[in-house]
């Protein structure tokens, strides 16, 4: 089934279930949730008392509680969300990493399932589950581009590549490409560690390691890397000597060998 069709099915099922849920107003679990495609998560018990009500609650209970628990206490399929804070929820939802089709996979950036308004509501709900880091306040414009370049080279380039194109880690996992990340998302990833996931590999850079201005600078430089200065021409994917060698042989030498074939005889 294609992604588009699946998403449409999700929305329709969600709409139907959500309406029923809202009408009932009492902690009914969504039965047609999209996440149940392949995984069969352990159903959680009905809570005896529910967290603070809010518009995000309904969405949460419908889509997230299956794996993360109605009170964010976690389950076999998903980590506890109580205490992860608004930053983690915002990062996961706005980059589309959550909802995730298979909990055992590495969360990958995808187009987000929810609208910005829905994301805000969900974030508020998760933030209320327990105290945790808020969404960082980022001001990329006040960052220093040169300082950002230096800090990026020291801390980020080894995993994410010199131009933020991403890189290979061990065991088949990847440090992702940064070109579609917003400033807030970059700051969240820096501050969260593991990018807030159980399997996340990214280290955590707290305020004692990188203060807010330094984060602003890194964000400013990473944003610049989305359109780096390619004054030299075709950038060959910014992958360095590998494509350069390929072009030297397949463009340069090939052209010249063809010229010699034209100039010289074949017999």
Site for another protein in 163-182 (CB under 8 A): 163, 166-175
Which of these, 30, 40, 26, lies nearest to 62 by C-alpha position? 30
Hey, is 146 helix, strand or coil? helix
Spatial separation of the C-alpha atoms in residues 167 and 230, rounded to whole Å: 20
Cα 155–chain centre separation: 19
* Number of residues engaging another protein in binding (CB under 8 A): 75
Hey, is 175 helix, strand or coil? strand
Contact region with another protein (CB under 8 A), list: 27-35, 45-53, 178-186, 227-235? 227-235
When binding is defined by CB under 8 A, the residue of 73, 74, 157, 182 that contacts another protein is: 157
User: Using the rule CB under 8 A, is 80 a contact of another protein?
Assistant: no
Residues contacting 26, CB < 8 A, separation 6+: none
Q: Which is nearer to another protein, 12 or 209 (CB)?
A: 209
Q: What are phi and psi of 58, to 5 degrees?
A: -60, -50
Q: CB of residue 159 vs another protein: minimum separation in angstroms?
A: 5
Kindly give the interhelix angle for 145-155 and 212-224, rounded to the nearest 10 degrees.
90
Q: Which is nearer to another protein, 128 or 157 (CB)?
A: 157
Q: CB of residue 255 vs another protein: minimum separation in angstroms?
A: 5
Encoding tokens for residue 145? 């581009």
Residues 230-259 binding another protein (CB under 8 A) are 230-236, 238-242, 244-249, 251-253, 255-257, 259
Residues 204-223 binding another protein (CB under 8 A) are 204-206, 208-209, 221
Q: Which is nearer to another protein, 121 or 216 (CB)?
A: 216
Which of these, 38, 44, 63, lies nearest to 119 by C-alpha position? 63
Q: Which is nearer to another protein, 111 or 241 (CB)?
A: 241
Q: Map residues 184-203 to x or -, x wherever contact with another protein holds by CB under 8 A.
A: ---------xx---xxxxxx
Q: CB of residue 108 vs another protein: minimum separation in angstroms?
A: 10
Spatial separation of the C-alpha atoms in residues 10 and 4, rounded to whole Å: 10
Q: CB of residue 237 vs another protein: minimum separation in angstroms?
A: 10
Residues 112-151 binding another protein (CB under 8 A) are 144-150
Does residue 185 contact residue 91 with C-beta atoms inside 8 Å?
yes
Does residue 81 contact residue 98 with C-beta atoms inside 8 Å?
no
Measured over the CA atoms of residue 79, residue 12, residue 30 and residue 27, the dihedral's sign is positive
Q: Which is nearer to another protein, 26 or 264 (CB)?
A: 264
Q: CB of residue 117 vs another protein: minimum separation in angstroms?
A: 32
Q: CB of residue 219 vs another protein: minimum separation in angstroms?
A: 13
Q: CB of residue 66 vs another protein: minimum separation in angstroms?
A: 23
Spatial separation of the C-alpha atoms in residues 267 and 265, rounded to whole Å: 6
């Amino acid at each position: 089934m294609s992604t588009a069709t699946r998403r449409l099915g999700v929305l329709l099922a969600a709409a139907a279930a959500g309406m029923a849920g809202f009408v009932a107003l009492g902690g009914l679990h969504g039965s047609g949730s999209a996440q149940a495609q392949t995984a069969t998560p352990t159903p959680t018990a009905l809570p005896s008392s529910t967290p603070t009500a809010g518009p995000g609650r309904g969405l949460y209970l419908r889509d997230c509680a299956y794996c993360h628990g109605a009170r964010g206490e976690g389950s076999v399929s998903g980590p506890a969300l109580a205490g992860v804070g608004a930053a983690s929820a915002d990062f996961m939802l706005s980059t589309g990493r959550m909802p995730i089709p298979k909990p055992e996979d590495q969360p990958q950036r995808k187009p987000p399932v929810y609208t910005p308004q829905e994301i805000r509501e969900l974030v508020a709900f998760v933030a209320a589950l327990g105290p945790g880091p808020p969404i960082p306040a980022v001001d990329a414009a006040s960052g220093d581009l040169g300082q950002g370049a230096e800090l990026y080279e020291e801390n980020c380039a080894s995993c994410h590549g010199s131009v933020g194109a991403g890189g290979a880690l061990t065991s088949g996992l990847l440090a992702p490409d940064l070109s579609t990340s917003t400033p807030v998302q970059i700051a969240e990833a820096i501050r969260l560690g593991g990018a807030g996931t159980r399997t996340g590999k990214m280290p955590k850079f707290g305020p004692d390691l990188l203060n807010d201005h330094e984060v602003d600078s890194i964000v400013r430089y990473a944003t610049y890397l989305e359109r780096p200065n390619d004054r030299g021409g075709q950038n060959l994917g910014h992958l360095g000597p590998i494509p350069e060698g390929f072009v030297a042989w397949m463009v340069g030498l090939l052209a010249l060998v063809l010229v010699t074939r034209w100039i010289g005889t074949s017999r």
